Chain A
């Protein structure tokens, strides 16, 4: 059994690193693509090993596209390219990559141990989360999604409402009545009527929504992007690698600050790696404003790379906390993780998983082993890894698209193709009009929890006084107001991530 886990771990590392190297692919797309092969995971813990390896190694891999091609690996490495690509132009790509890998790796180890080693103990927190705590926590999460993760507040809020609405399609848990399902045109007594589409009674399937709304527009965008490819300087690679490691040590405060920011952002549901990276980057810019560096941050200074890469793996690690404890995804890729685990009977946020010691053991060990496997691979194959990144995206486009379609249409039902097609069109429109697709997806994923917590809030007869005079609800209410004010007036790290 141990041998099988080891093989799956290595395969996960290879696949994850590869998918990380492919521009715009990254963990989310890589995870969606394996839905089509979920049937092969007869042991649920093997899937835990495989997905954890993908998450860890794709985070390391996605720095390559940012540094070498000036396009984000998977959105979460967008800030890396600001300083990483100018370094490549100067012939210092290996140094930039080395600094990125070392900082990301160290923070990954530190925050990974902090999260996964102690995660079984954090499960006690769940016992303090009743209906009212969950309700206020969700309000806090939604406030963050709208007011922190995007600079277009109104469109972000509309996207969130849109996502919640789509998520509520199906059976109303309050009265058992099917709702918002009348999509079938039928002629009744000579008149057009819209009748129920029974397929939607279980709700809209998550995978076509993720594939269509999130992944497909990114793939299409990457296909159209004219990239400037700069060949890696083959001279002094070894010296540059060592220099990159030294840089990481020299600017360890920037890396640690980035890690801290990434860790915090990961704990807040629904805020992805993009905001963590940009926020960490902005703090590095602020911290370096008085420095006497010859090259300022923003023009190819290695501190810019280190500052944001610190947040990369730290955010990935801590985003597992809300996902596992409450079943509320800490990042977009966690939505896919939740769905995949559900298929093999591991329902995150439930007592079954929280009491499963093997689950936590497998998670911790696969996370740490993945990090230790990927470090020498990433250092040793920098030159060759860049070749993979430099392959024109048109060669990746069709295989990735095919895997997304295959994953979204597992039952080969025509209904699935229709839903996927609608989601693809909706994703393109939302991206074009700058409606936050992340807000939409978070609304979609959390819709059932939001509705349920609202129903329970009323069923148990809670009121505003219960929020004000209970410690956790009061804390979340204060945090929500703080996030609102900070997002509206003080957030300088707003990003145009739609």
Chain B
């Protein structure tokens, strides 16, 4: 009897919490993760522009962010007030992981934050002895490094050899451990988002910015990051090798960085949801409010928003990069060089 009573109270508490919320934001991580922290801040600010409506955050961790997105795709989205919060990891998994069942093309974008990644190194560190902390999500960084170090050729085998000759890919280092190893000097190259770079690397006088990926523009091109002018990969490549980067390997790089960074943090709702317009309007207001933007920037950095139709447009641009040659080049490098098991997903190819 006692057990039943306790169970009933616990269940009622949970249902009551859900019942009082107007919107539910599904986060594919447990509390404390990067996307979870971002969501808590954005949802808190967004609520201010929703005319008293409340947002509940539902964490569905598991599968390294896969499980939550899969569950939302499979049925949670049918509740039209349920919004999915996806991250850059979800985007790369969409390209390479057969367990990813979701499809970005099927949803309406509420909004997304676009960011770039800054690659730094110890001053004087040799480009032929790159020691960097490993992570499957760092694929675009290593692809950029290999193109810049080994120049044009186009075929993945060339860059595979370049990788084997020049890179020590140190696996098992989480982000925090990697930062410490870089400060200690065990690693001589690093990569961070702009806010983290400023906090952890920029004040080290022995470090310098090597390059950035640039920012995804509305027309699908990438522009120089104004915070680190002249350091965009494409610019450095052209200056060193005399021509703009091109070929399947470059297309693979562009595909991976656009998916990961262009949709680094994104809010999705079921297509034709009647609540989309209200959420988009609220997000637009929030993005124009200096206090809200300041609060978000303080915690996660100041990035551009693509809201509503702009978000859909961004998504469509990014999806258009998914060509067979680009996907295969990216996949081959991920598997042969970095050593991570991945699968070619024919069904997501555009051409």
Contact = CB atoms under 8 A, between A and B. Distances in A.
A453 B186 CA distance: 13
B45 to A, nearest CB: 14
Interface in A430-452: 448, 451-452
Contact of A198 (B37, B99, B175): B99
Contacts of A451: 172
B3 interface: yes
B32 A345 contact: yes
B240 interface: no
B181 A455 contact: no
Contacts of A4: none
Interface stretch (A8-16, A105-113, A253-261, A411-419): A411-419
Contacts of B174: 448, 452
A130 B14 contact: no
A120 to B, nearest CB: 16
Nearest to B31: A343
Given A198-B67, A201-B67, A452 B177 contact: yes
Interface string B160-186: 000000001111111111011101101
B62 A174 contact: no
B31 A202 contact: no
Taking residues whose C-beta sits less than 8 angstroms from the other chain, chain A's interface range is 35 or more
A199 interface: yes
B62 A402 contact: no
B87 to A, nearest CB: 14
Contact of A415 (B62, B66, B172, B177): B62
A351 B200 contact: yes
Given A176-B136, A352-B176, A398 B2 contact: yes
A455 B171 contact: yes
B35 interface: no
Interface centre among B31, B134, B341 (most CB of A within 10 A): B31
Nearest to B70: A198
Contacts of B10: 402, 405-406
A180 B61 CA distance: 18
B67 A456 contact: no
Given A176-B341, A201-B64, A402-B10, A452 B183 contact: no
Contacts of B172: 173-174, 448, 451-453, 455-456
17 contacts: A38-B31, A173-B171, A175-B339, A176-B340, A177-B341, A198-B62, A199-B67, A202-B30, A205-B30, A343-B32, A347-B176, A352-B179, A398-B3, A402-B10, A452-B174, A459-B169, A459-B170
Given A176-B136, A202-B61, A405-B10, 20 more contacts: A38-B31, A39-B31, A129-B184, A131-B186, A174-B172, A175-B340, A175-B341, A196-B99, A198-B63, A199-B62, A343-B32, A345-B37, A350-B177, A398-B2, A406-B10, A451-B172, A452-B177, A456-B170, A459-B169, A459-B170
Interface of B: 2-3, 6, 10, 14, 30-32, 37, 58-64, 66-67, 70, 99, 134, 136, 168-177, 179-181, 183-184, 186, 199-200, 339-342
- Listed from nearest, the 8 A-B pairs whose CB atoms lie closest are A350-B176, A452-B172, A176-B340, A343-B32, A201-B63, A199-B62, A198-B63, A455-B172
